[in-house]
Chains A and B, each alone.
Chain A
Amino acid sequence: MSEVRIDGLMKTFGSAGVRAVDDLSLTVAEGQLVVLLGPSGCGKTTLLRCVAGLETPDGGTIEIGGRLMFGRDGRIQVPTHKRDIGMVFQNYALWPHMTVEQNVAYPLRVRGIARQERSRQAREALALVECEMLAERLPSAISGGQQQRVALARALVARPGLMLFDEPLSNLDYRLRAQLRHQLRDLHRTLGFTGLYVTHDQTEAMQLGTVVAVLKEGKVEQLADPASLFSRPASAYVARFLGIGNRLELVRDPDARWVVGGGDVRLDLPAAGELPGTRFDLYLRATEVGLAAPGAGPADPDVGRLPGVVTDVVYSGDSSDWIVQVGDSRIVASGKARAWPFGPEDRVEVVFRHSSALLYEQDEAGRLVESYGVRTSLVP
Chain B
Amino acid sequence: MTLTQERNAATGPAQTPAGSRAKPAGRRWALLALLMAALILWPLIKLEARVAEDLSGAVDRLLGYRDLGRVYLNTVIIAVGSTIVAVVAGTGLAWCITRVPPRWYKVMSVLPVVPLLMPSVASVQGWSYLLSPRTGIINQYLREWGVGSGDSGPLDVYSMTGIILMAGTILTSFVFMFVSASLRQRGAELEAAAAACGASPWRTFRTVTLPMMRPALVYSTAIVLLLALGQFTVPLLLGTPDRIDVVSTAVYKVSADYPVDYALGGALAFPLLVIGLGVILIQRRALRDERRYVSVSARTRQVGLKTSGWALVPIVTYLVVAVVLPLVALVSVSLSPFWSGRITPSTFTLDNWAAVWGNQNTVDAITTTLTALLLTLVAVLPLSYLVSVALLRRTRVPGVIRLPIDVLASIALCMPVSLLGFAFLFTYSEPPFTLYGTTAMVVVAYVTLAIPFAIRPQLSALTAIGPEYSEASRVSGAGSLSTAWRITFPLIRSGLGVSAALITIIVAHEFTVSLMVTSPTRRVIGSLLYDETVSGTAPNVAVLSLLMLAVTLVGIGISWLIAGGNTVDKI
Known: A56-B7, A74-B9, A107-B476. A89 touches B20 (CB 8 A): no
Contacts known (A77-B5, A78-B20); A93 close to B477, Cβ less than 8 A: no
A154 touches B16 (CB 8 A): no
B5 lies within 8 A of A53 (CB): yes
Assess the B475–A110 pair: CB atoms within 8 A: no
**Are B477 and A158 neighbours in the complex by a CB distance under 8 Å?**
yes
A112 to B20, CA, bound (A): 20
A86 neighbours in B (Cβ, 8 Å): 475-476
Question: Across the interface, do B477 and A96 meet the contact criterion of CB distance under 8 Å?
Answer: no
Q: Pick the interface stretch among B254-262, B465-473, B539-547.
A: B465-473
Which residue, of B5, B21, B477, B482, has the highest number of chain A Cβ atoms within 10 A? B477
Determine whether the beta carbon of B490 is less than 8 Å from that of A97. Answer: yes
Q: Which of B8-36 contact A (CB under 8 A)?
A: 8-9, 11-12, 15-17, 19-22
Contact status B7-A93, CB under 8 Å: no
Closest residue on chain B to residue A89 by CB atoms = B468
Shortest CB distance B23–A (Å): 9
Q: Chain A 156-171 against B: per-residue CB contact (8 Å), 1 yes, 0 no? A: 0010000010000000
B402 at the A interface (CB under 8 A)? no
- Residues 468-493 of B at the A interface (beta carbon under 8 Å): 468-469, 471-479, 482-483, 486-487, 490-491
Q: Is B396 interfacial (CB 8 A cutoff)?
A: yes
Among residues of B, the one whose C-beta sits closest to the C-beta of A68 is B17
- B469 partner, pick from A53, A54, A67, A95, beta carbons under 8 A: A95
- Contacting residues of chain A (205-254) with chain B, CB-CB under 8 angstroms: none
Task: Please measure, in the bound complex, the distance between the C-alpha atom of A110 and the C-alpha atom of B477, giving whole angstroms.
Answer: 6
B559 to chain A, nearest CB (A): 19
| Known contacts A78-B19, A79-B5; A54/B478 CB under 8 A | no
Tell me which residues across on chain A come within 8 A of B486, comparing CB atoms. Answer: 106
Instruction: Please measure, in the bound complex, the distance between the C-alpha atom of A258 and the C-alpha atom of B469, giving whole angstroms.
Output: 58
Cα–Cα, bound, A56→B4 (Å): 11
Residues on B with C-beta less than 8 A from A111 are 477
Decide if B477 touches A84 in the complex (CB within 8 Å): yes
**Do A164 and B475 form a contact, CB below 8 Å, given A74-B9, A77-B5?**
yes
Contact A110 B471 (CB under 8 A): no
Count of residues in B whose CB is under 8 Å from the partner chain: 32
Bound-complex Cα distance A97 to B494 (A): 13
Please judge, given known A-B contacts A95-B487, A97-B490, whether A79 and B21 are in contact too, CB under 8 Å: yes
Among B439-481, those with CB < 8 Å from A are 468-469, 471-479
Given the contacts A75-B9, A96-B491, A81 and B16 also touching, CB distance less than 8 Å: no
B7 lies within 8 A of A81 (CB): no
B472 touches A81 (CB 8 A): no
Q: How far is the CA of A338 from the CA of B6 in the complex (A)?
A: 62
Check if A135 is an interface residue, CB within 8 A of chain B. no
Q: How far is the CA of A80 from the CA of B20 in the complex (A)?
A: 10
Contact B22 A93 (CB under 8 A): no
Among A56, A79, A106, which residue has its beta carbon within 8 angstroms of that of B479?
A79
A106 adjacent to B471 (CB under 8 Å): no
Q: A34 on the interface (CB 8 Å rule)?
A: no
* Contact A106 B478, beta carbon cutoff 8 Å: yes
Within 8 A of A (CB), among B481-522: 482-483, 486-487, 490-491
Interface string of A335-379 (1 = CB under 8 A from B): 000000000000000000000000000000000000000000000
Within 8 A of B (CB), among A31-87: 52-54, 56, 67-69, 72, 74-87
Please encode chain A, from 293 to 334, with 1 for each CB lying within 8 Å of some chain B CB and 0 for all others. Answer: 000000000000000000000000000000000000000000
User: A91: CB under 8 A from chain B?
Assistant: yes
Instruction: Check if B472 sits within 8 Å of A87, measured CB to CB.
Output: yes
A77–B6 touching, CB < 8 Å: yes
The residues of A that contact B8 with a CB separation of less than 8 Å are 74
Task: Evaluate contact between A87 and B22: CB separation under 8 angstroms.
Answer: no
Q: A75 and B22 in contact (CB under 8 A), knowing A81-B479, A110-B478, A110-B482?
A: yes
Expressed in whole angstroms, the minimum distance between the Cβ of A163 and any Cβ of chain B is 10
Q: In whole Å, how far is A16's beta carbon from the nearest beta carbon of chain B?
A: 15
B490 and A91 within 8 A (CB): no
Interface pair B6/A107, CB less than 8 Å apart? no
Q: Mark B189-233, 1 if CB is under 8 A from A, else 0.
A: 000000000000000000000000000000000000000000000
- CB neighbours (8 Å) of A52 from chain B are 471, 475
Task: Give B230-243 as 1s and 0s: 1 = Cβ < 8 Å from A's Cβ atoms.
Answer: 00000000000000
In the complex, how many angstroms separate the beta carbon of B27 from the nearest chain A beta carbon? 15
For A69, A74, A110, the residue with the greatest tally of chain B CB atoms inside 10 Å of its CB is A110
Contacts of A83 in B (CB 8 A): 475
Chain A interface residues (CB < 8 Å from chain B): 52-54, 56, 67-69, 72, 74-87, 89, 91, 93-97, 106-107, 110-111, 151, 154-155, 158, 164
List 6 A-B residue pairs with CB atoms under 8 Å apart, sorted by A's residue number: A52-B475, A53-B5, A56-B5, A86-B476, A94-B472, A106-B473
